[in-house]
């Protein structure tokens, strides 16, 4: 399917926000506002995790709005892809910009039957936090939330023995281990008190009223502990949730277009977004209904 792309700048709470809109050549079956990853201080809308993902989804009939949110300061202990000379911003700037981009999408004349909100890694964090922000302010909510290898807890939950064994096979496991993740998270919020904010790190907070959620974890990834814990927390909150582990892949596998695991993940994402049960208009904040919630793991 042919696609149409358009770069735009939309109004935001901290100035204009660059976004890129990907539209299928035919009628859209779903919409997704998407935030790339990059440890909160790296990445952009041209990286595969943003551009390639959006193009593949648009080819499946999904309109995607990719958000080029403002980045946090570069963390010296990690290597980022962002411009170290660019202006840098701590929480809540990126969170508020993803929230604003979603609100813009719901009012723009893009002819989408309903909008989901999602992201990868740090972008998944921003998507989850923005969803809670929308819930608490009474604004239109996403019909679904898509979280890919997310970081959702200020402190990484304990890894299982199975995950620890896989984690230790990484070339330099300590470079991406719990201590590094804690430094990354503190770098994002700057003030340690920010680590307790539910919009900064939704894990462990009140998740009632969240929309149906798909969590797609990388297999060999310490952040899988956060994704799995968040899935269980959603179940406890009465939220419908699907948790899938993509076998044999490392964190960030959506940045590898030639990786068969990335192609499988894109198919899973598109199929879920196009599920008829998720169709319909974007909803407003509401208490969870009586439907059953559950977790499926693979």
Phi, psi of 2, deg, nearest 5: -70, 155
pLDDT of 81 over the 90 cut: no
Residue 266 and residue 214: Cα distance in Å, rounded?
A: 13
Looking at the DSSP assignment, which residues form a beta bridge with residue 119?
35, 147
Q: At what angle do helices 122-137 and 93-107 cross, to 10 degrees?
A: 70
Mean pLDDT, rounded, for 200-229: 99
Residue 179 and residue 257: Cα distance in Å, rounded?
A: 29
Residue 190 and residue 139: Cα distance in Å, rounded?
A: 28
Mean pLDDT, rounded, for 82-105: 88
Mean pLDDT, rounded, for 102-115: 96
pLDDT value of position 1: 75
pLDDT confidence bin for 155, thresholds 50/70/90: very high
Q: Which residues contact 10 (CB under 8 A, 6 or more apart)?
A: 16, 17, 19, 100, 101, 104
Helix (H, G, I), strand (E, B) or coil at 147: strand
pLDDT confidence bin for 290, thresholds 50/70/90: very low
- What is the torsion angle, in degrees rounded to the nearest 10, for the CA atoms of residue 128, residue 134, residue 136 and residue 141? -90
Q: pLDDT tens, 258-283?
A: 999 999 999 999 999 999 877 654 55
Q: pLDDT tens, 32-54?
A: 999 999 999 999 999 999 999 99
pLDDT of 76 over the 80 cut: no
* Tokens (6 digits) for 234: 């959603």
pLDDT of 30 over the 50 cut: yes
Q: How far apart are the first and last CA of the chain?
A: 30
Geometric angle at alpha carbon 45, from 40 and 47, rounded to 5°: 85
Taken in order of first residue, the domains within the chain and their CATH numbers are: 3-278 (3.40.50.1820)
pLDDT of 156 over the 60 cut: yes
Strands 62-67 and 17-24: antiparallel
Q: In this predicted model, which residue has the larger pLDDT, 287 or 145?
A: 145
């Amino acid at each position: 399917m042919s696609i149409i792309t358009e770069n735009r700048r939309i109004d935001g709470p901290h100035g204009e926000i660059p976004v890129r809109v990907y539209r299928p050549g035919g009628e859209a079956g779903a919409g997704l506002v998407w935030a790339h990853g990059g440890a909160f201080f790296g990445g952009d809308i041209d990286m595969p995790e943003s551009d390639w993902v959006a193009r593949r989804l648009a080819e499946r009939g999904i309109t995607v709005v990719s958000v080029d949110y403002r980045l946090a300061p570069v963390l010296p202990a990690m290597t980022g892809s962002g411009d170290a000379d660019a202006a840098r911003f701590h929480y809540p700037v990126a969170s508020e910009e993803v929230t604003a981009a979603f609100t813009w999408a719901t009012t723009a004349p893009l002819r989408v039957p309903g909008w989901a909100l999602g992201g990868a890694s740090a972008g998944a964090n921003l998507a989850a936090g923005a969803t809670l922000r929308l819930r608490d302010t009474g604004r239109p909510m996403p019909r679904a939330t898509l979280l890919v290898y997310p970081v959702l807890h200020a402190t990484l939950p304990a890894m299982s023995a199975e995950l620890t064994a896989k984690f230790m096979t990484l070339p330099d496991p300590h470079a991406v281990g719990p201590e590094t993740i804690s430094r990354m998270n503190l770098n994002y919020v700057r003030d340690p008190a920010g680590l307790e904010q539910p919009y900064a790190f939704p894990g462990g907070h009140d998740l009632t009223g969240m929309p149906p959620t798909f969590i797609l974890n990388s297999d060999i990834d310490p952040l899988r502990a956060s994704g799995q814990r968040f899935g269980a927390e959603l179940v406890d909150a009465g939220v419908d949730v699907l948790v899938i582990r993509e076998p044999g892949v490392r964190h960030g596998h959506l940045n590898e277009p030639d990786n068969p695991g990335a192609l499988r993940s894109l198919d899973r994402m598109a199929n879920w977004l196009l599920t008829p049960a998720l169709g319909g208009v974007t909803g407003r904040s509401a208490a969870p209904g009586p439907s059953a919630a559950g977790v499926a793991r693979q």
